[in-house]
Structure 1
Amino acid sequence: MNRVVTFGETRDLVRKAIREAELPVGLEVWILRDLIGRVSVLLPEPAAEPPEPIRRLVERLHSTLGAHAYPPERAILYLEPEDREELRSEAVIWEEEGVTIYFLDREISGRRWVTIAESELAGPPRFVLFALKGGLGRSTTAAVLAAHLARKGQRVLVLDFDLESPTLSSMLSPEEHPDFGLVEWLVEDLIDQAEVLVPDMIGRPAWSMDFTGEVMVVPAYGRRCREHLAQLGRAYLDKPPREVGGSPEKWVDRVRRLVRSLEAHASPDLVVMDSRSGLHDIAAALIVGLQAQVLLFAVDSEPTWSGYRILFQHWAQNQAIRQVRERLFLAAALVPPTAQKEYLRRFRQHAWDLFREWLYDEVPPGEPDGEWFSFDLMEEDAPHTPLPIYWERGLLAWPDLRSLESGPVQSAYSEFLQRFERQLLPEAGL
């Protein structure tokens, strides 16, 4: 090795090493990249001597990856066949010159961004509002959207999943706060007593009482919350197995149970969830685990597009992109008060470039467009065409959700709400 190999190169270099090892066609090879980024080979059972092709492979991995591969004498691990079968669903699978590769990544949190639910989660339509950074009006939008839909007769369940810095919980006055919130459920669930909290987790804001429908708010934490930081440190844990030798319940699956439990109790027509911003486990669970429609908040800036490019690339590398792409839509946040048409034109162009690169199919010449997930730049209801939210000084304070037809809420959100009803509600079956 004459140069340093970095983590980001390891996956491509594993491919290179497998090609150069000249493995026999039809072989299955399991590759493990562990928590510190080192690569080893998994075999189904111990043997006096590993097969010659595997010995060639670990030698090649070490010479190609340097410090990101274990020395050949430590590079082979053994795993019971039944354990390998259990891990098969987590592997990224590809073929390299007739050899089937199962690539396993051991990650503390990033894996949750590609842990696609194996089954549909029955229940009402769900909408997740997500942004890479705070300050884009995500929580305000969730509140406005809930109020708008409730005025039209919908029973709307609102979940404040921004557990570290809850804002959406401000829809409730202090006296309207329920006894418990999402944090308490996640902690008490670890010891099997979360379900008794559910009836005392929903608050109903007084300002919505005259609406045709209903707004039901589950805050991040309730008024009886004590030791909030101590609870928060436990809220993201996988659930320990019930018996010795059992498997822990993944955090994504715990969130699915939490949402379904609240839905079963409240019987909403639809659910609006305010996600924590950034590439956090909360966002991962809501976006990939619930089959929800997802609004990606963005401003037209290179940091925004670079951030979403990182996320889309991660999905593509881990074979998850097709399971999530048809549920993604863009919201253009904080559209400036001047040159709005030009700003939205640039926004759409940059969004289309990004979606074409990672999400949209490349339609072969002569093929009908309708059979592919692909959209033209100017297609009005395409996922890359943003739902605009215009900047309004009057929204620097929490908006008056009783009157949405006038004032800053109307100026900022009228077009957004029209597009939401036309585009996302039919997608969700409403």
Structure 2
Amino acid sequence: MTLVPEPAGGPVRFAEARLLALALAHELAAVGVDVLAVRDVQGRFTLIVDDRNRQVPPALENLEEIYGPRVARDLGPYAADRPLMRASGLFSAGVLLDSERAVADPERPAGRVRVLDNTVVGEDWAHVSTPAAEADGTRTHRTALYGFKGGVGRSTATAVLARHLADKGHIVLVVDLDLESPGVGPIVAAGAELPPHGIIDQLVEAAIGNDEGLEHVVRSAYMPRGGRGELWLAPARGQGTPGIPYAYVDKLNRVYADVPGAGFSDRLEQAVRACEDAVVRNGDSGRRPDIVLLDSRAGIHDIAAVTISRLCDLALLFGTDNAQTWQGYGDLFAAWLSSGQAPAIREKLRMVASMVPDSPQDAYLRSFREHAWECFSLLYDDDVPASGTNELDPDLFSPSLEDESAPHHPVPILFEPGLVGLDAVTVPGWQDRAFVQAAYQDFLPTATLLITADPQSSKGP
């Protein structure tokens, strides 16, 4: 449990304000009321006591006069203009108190305090779901490939994995969602001419209802072994129309805007669906892709938030064993914990140890696994006996350090010098070279099993 800091005499800062506000909220709740801690976009708190269906206990009869000044004093600049309110004094209290975004305080989930956090961007990290099956009962397996930092080989791994899955007979669609730094498109296209349009055009044109007839998906020139598989690409950027400036930056400046009736997350999901529908229209089989690989934007970014939290049923998290990796993922996992999303997100994650050195390989992977386990412990349940008994709750999700099926257990991609400077766009058959096969020998079969398993299933390696 996070400790509330003792007042240090200095100014209250952003992170400290949350701890202080929730401590006050739990103090109120201990007297016998439900409390909602509402944080605005600037980080300021209002504590709302829910008295809609019952009167507050006598001890809190004068709570505004007693607790209001205290909230203002303790939180300083992070107290809202009205830091303490009763639900009965609000015009439409239900909008806040019944909001789906209000979650239990993750530090004390069994208590009577909930938190409603309002932000300008990044809220999609706090809304986790898994895509549903299609109307006919079939399921498209959507996998996000994400790295907190760039330069970890994510796009090359996406291309290698896409070819491997197509060779296995799957209909594979790769969607380049790294709009700020597109890269996977030409590698996957394998010499095929890119379409006139890309994901960027789908987002811009659909915002004004002008997306009909867009050509934003192309079949790769790579011919999968066995003849049954198909490999398709939806690039971030199309090749454009001759004689007309593509204006990529101007389009990029507009893609994140909400439009009436649809926020950015809805529009990105619709864009990916439009790409899948294009495969149905243009493919030989008339079938939907059964596997979609989403090459995500790096960093804590809205595209990554939507891709991992909402669009995929599996997220492969790339990283190297260094302080930047674990600090970044630690911040991200802490955000999922504080928003109450740990149970929903943790089982759709899996770490990928990229660029693993050949020597000492075992020691490196052991260190990576230990650091990953420390990081994931934020999302795992506390392995303690249930109250009043010495028995562990069988429903707890608390994998051990050695659990090879756990999210923290790394899937390795070995570092091979030959990969440095490899021109995967123009070199034919590059994926069959010995050093490429050596680098991905563990990653490909393990990722294939994870991707084709039922979402959040225990089946797999």
Deviating more after overlay: 291-300 vs 69-78: 69-78
What are the within-5 Å matches in structure 2 for residues 287-326 of structure 1?
A: 287-326=308-347
- C-alpha distance in 2 between matches for 1:256 and 1:51: 48
1:215 deviation in Å? 0.7
The CA deviation string for residues 108-165 of structure 1, in whole angstroms up to 9 with x for no partner, is 1121111224973644011100001100000000000000111121110000000011
- C-alpha distance in 2 between matches for 1:424 and 1:360: 25
Which residue pairs with 1:158 in the alignment?
Answer: 174
**Superposition TM-score, scaled by structure 1 size:** 0.86
8 Å CA contact retained: 1:21, 1:56? no
1:329 deviation in Å? 0.4
The 3-state SS of whatever aligns with 2:254 is helix
Which residue pairs with 2:45 in the alignment?
Answer: 39
Which residue pairs with 2:283 in the alignment?
Answer: none
1:393 deviation in Å? 2.0
The 3-state SS of whatever aligns with 1:389 is strand
8 Å CA contact retained: 1:33, 1:39? yes
2:11 aligned with 1:4, yes or no?
Answer: yes
8 Å CA contact retained: 1:294, 1:329? yes
Which residue pairs with 2:57 in the alignment?
Answer: none
Which residue pairs with 2:400 in the alignment?
Answer: 376
2:377 pairs, out of 348, 356, 362, with: 356
1:100 deviation in Å? 3.7
Which residue pairs with 1:56 in the alignment?
Answer: 66
Which residue pairs with 1:347 in the alignment?
Answer: 368
The structure-2 alpha-carbon separation of the partners of 1:19 and 1:252, relative to structure 1 and needing over 3 Å to count, comes to same
1:276 pairs, out of 262, 286, 297, with: 297
Higher helix share: 1
- C-alpha distance in 1 between matches for 2:394 and 2:436: 37
1:284 deviation in Å? 0.4
Which residue pairs with 2:284 in the alignment?
Answer: none
The structure-2 alpha-carbon separation of the partners of 1:164 and 1:72, relative to structure 1 and needing over 3 Å to count, comes to closer
The CA deviation string for residues 371-417 of structure 1, in whole angstroms up to 9 with x for no partner, is 43232322333222211111122222233573534322111111111
1:358 deviation in Å? 2.9
1:93 deviation in Å? 2.9
The 3-state SS of whatever aligns with 1:364 is coil
- C-alpha distance in 2 between matches for 1:370 and 1:84: 34
The 3-state SS of whatever aligns with 1:234 is coil
2:256 aligned with 1:239, yes or no?
Answer: no
The 3-state SS of whatever aligns with 2:195 is coil
The CA deviation string for residues 171-210 of structure 1, in whole angstroms up to 9 with x for no partner, is 236761111111111111211223432xx11112223366
Cα RMSD (Å) of the superposition? 3.2
1:109 maps to amino acid: V
2:96 aligned with 1:90, yes or no?
Answer: no
1:230 deviation in Å? 1.2
- C-alpha distance in 1 between matches for 2:109 and 2:31: 9
- C-alpha distance in 1 between matches for 2:361 and 2:16: 41
Identify unmatched segments of 5+ residues in structure 2: 1-6, 52-59, 280-287
**Superposition TM-score, scaled by structure 2 size:** 0.81
2:443 maps to amino acid: F
- C-alpha distance in 2 between matches for 1:221 and 1:98: 48
The 3-state SS of whatever aligns with 1:358 is coil
Which residue pairs with 1:201 in the alignment?
Answer: 216
- C-alpha distance in 2 between matches for 1:192 and 1:55: 53
8 Å CA contact retained: 1:286, 1:292? no
The 3-state SS of whatever aligns with 1:164 is coil
8 Å CA contact retained: 1:140, 1:168? yes
1:350 deviation in Å? 1.8
- C-alpha distance in 1 between matches for 2:16 and 2:132: 35
8 Å CA contact retained: 1:120, 1:291? no
The structure-2 alpha-carbon separation of the partners of 1:100 and 1:209, relative to structure 1 and needing over 3 Å to count, comes to closer
The 3-state SS of whatever aligns with 1:263 is helix
2:75 aligned with 1:65, yes or no?
Answer: yes
Deviating more after overlay: 359-368 vs 297-306: 359-368
1:81 deviation in Å? 3.9
1:421 pairs, out of 436, 448, 451, with: 448
1:101 deviation in Å? 3.3
1:115 pairs, out of 127, 133, 147, with: 127
Matched pairs, number: 415
The CA deviation string for residues 2-23 of structure 1, in whole angstroms up to 9 with x for no partner, is 3211100112101222355588
8 Å CA contact retained: 1:156, 1:270? yes
8 Å CA contact retained: 2:130, 2:312? no
1:384 maps to amino acid: H
Which residue pairs with 2:56 in the alignment?
Answer: none
8 Å CA contact retained: 2:128, 2:309? yes
- C-alpha distance in 2 between matches for 1:53 and 1:411: 67
8 Å CA contact retained: 1:41, 1:58? no
- C-alpha distance in 2 between matches for 1:392 and 1:369: 44
2:145 pairs, out of 120, 123, 129, with: 129
What are the within-5 Å matches in structure 2 for residues 254-265 of structure 1?
A: 254-265=267-278
8 Å CA contact retained: 2:165, 2:448? no
2:423 maps to amino acid: W
1:185 maps to amino acid: Q
Which residue pairs with 2:197 in the alignment?
Answer: 180
- C-alpha distance in 2 between matches for 1:367 and 1:13: 34
- C-alpha distance in 2 between matches for 1:72 and 1:201: 50
The structure-2 alpha-carbon separation of the partners of 1:384 and 1:44, relative to structure 1 and needing over 3 Å to count, comes to closer
- C-alpha distance in 1 between matches for 2:364 and 2:109: 48
The structure-2 alpha-carbon separation of the partners of 1:338 and 1:44, relative to structure 1 and needing over 3 Å to count, comes to closer
- C-alpha distance in 2 between matches for 1:415 and 1:269: 23
2:357 maps to amino acid: P
8 Å CA contact retained: 1:42, 1:79? no
1:215 pairs, out of 212, 216, 231, with: 231
- C-alpha distance in 1 between matches for 2:10 and 2:336: 29
1:240 deviation in Å? 2.0
